[in-house]
Amino acid sequence: MREPVADTLEISSAVKEEQYVHAVYNEIATHFSDTRFKPWPVIERYLLALPVGSLGVDIGCGNGKYLGVRTGDIFMMGTDRSSSLVEICRARNYECLVSDGLDLPYREGAFDFAISIAVIHHFSSEERRRDAVREILRVVRPGGTVLVFVWALEQHGRRKFDENTQDVLVPWVVPAESRVEGGEKVYQRYYHLFREGELASLFQQVGGNVIEEIGYDRDNWFVIARKD
């Protein structure tokens, strides 16, 4: 029950994401947010190195943990598909709105940079993951950079995955003490686990960018790319 299981659901990508991603995050938002407070070092380093005056967007910003890493001399706004998570950001005085990563409401080249941390592994087909990367790059100006993190198939931490199963349902357990109704509840979230090289390949397929860094950190693959 607590172990990840292979995704064998016979439903469309959009319905799968609605039921096994969007609905789950709306339900677990508060507990999820309470467990997400420490910025990852690679992301912090990226944000701290940006030039003064940079304007950026965090796509799939969750509870906004990266929106407050650097304030004053740069500005970041967030967007998330989960209205419950956006409400948490708003309550923390972060600039945030509700939108879909496949269909962002921003004009082309609006931002100097964009980050998308642990988000596009929730899109359940390669085409949709590629479209998500394309959309992130679209809203950044030529010369701007993007940083994308996704869960790795090759994890060395507490989670272990079958190397032959990339599409999985991963349990999220909300303990009894975190639920008003009492009693523990287990939710399943859909993930596509990225193999080494797979994220970079999406950037190459989309084109119009140069990959500046590829790395592995905290059970995730990441790419930093500069838009042409």
Partner 1 sequence: MRLLTHNMLKCHVKNCTDPDKQYPLRFKDVQIEQIEYEANEEFLVRMLPRIDWVALVKTAKDLNIAIPDSVPEDPASDQDFLQSLHTIIMETHVTEGSMVCDGCSHEYKITKGIANMLLAEHEI
From the CB of 73, what's the least distance to partner 1, in Å?
5
From the CB of 29, what's the least distance to partner 1, in Å?
14
Q: Which of residues 147-166 bind partner 1 (CB under 8 A)?
A: none
Binding pattern for the stretch 93-112 against partner 1, x by CB under 8 A and - elsewhere:
--xxxxxx-xxxxxx--xxx
Q: How many CB atoms lie within 10 A of CB 210?
A: 11
Q: How far is CA 47 from the centre of its chain?
A: 16
Q: Looking at 28-36, 54-62, 160-168, 191-199, which segment touches partner 1 (CB under 8 A)?
A: 54-62
From the CB of 98, what's the least distance to partner 1, in Å?
5
Taking CB under 8 A as the rule, does residue 83 contact partner 1? yes
Q: Looking at 36-44, 53-61, 169-177, 211-219, which segment touches partner 1 (CB under 8 A)?
A: 53-61
Q: Which of residues 110-129 bind partner 1 (CB under 8 A)?
A: 110-112
Q: What is the DSSP letter of 184?
A: -
Taking CB under 8 A as the rule, does residue 54 contact partner 1? yes
In the complex with partner 1, which residue's Cβ is closer, 39 or 109?
109
Angle (nearest 5°) at CA 165 between 137 and 217: 50
| Buried residues in 131-163 as b, exposed as e (16+ CB within 10 A) | bbbbbbbbbbeeebbbbbbbbbbeeeeeeebee
List the one residue out of 187, 188, 196 whose CA is nearest residue 151: 196
In the complex with partner 1, which residue's Cβ is closer, 51 or 157?
51
Site of interaction with partner 1 (CB under 8 A): 14, 51-55, 57, 72-75, 77, 79, 81, 83, 86-87, 90, 95-100, 102-107, 110-112, 141
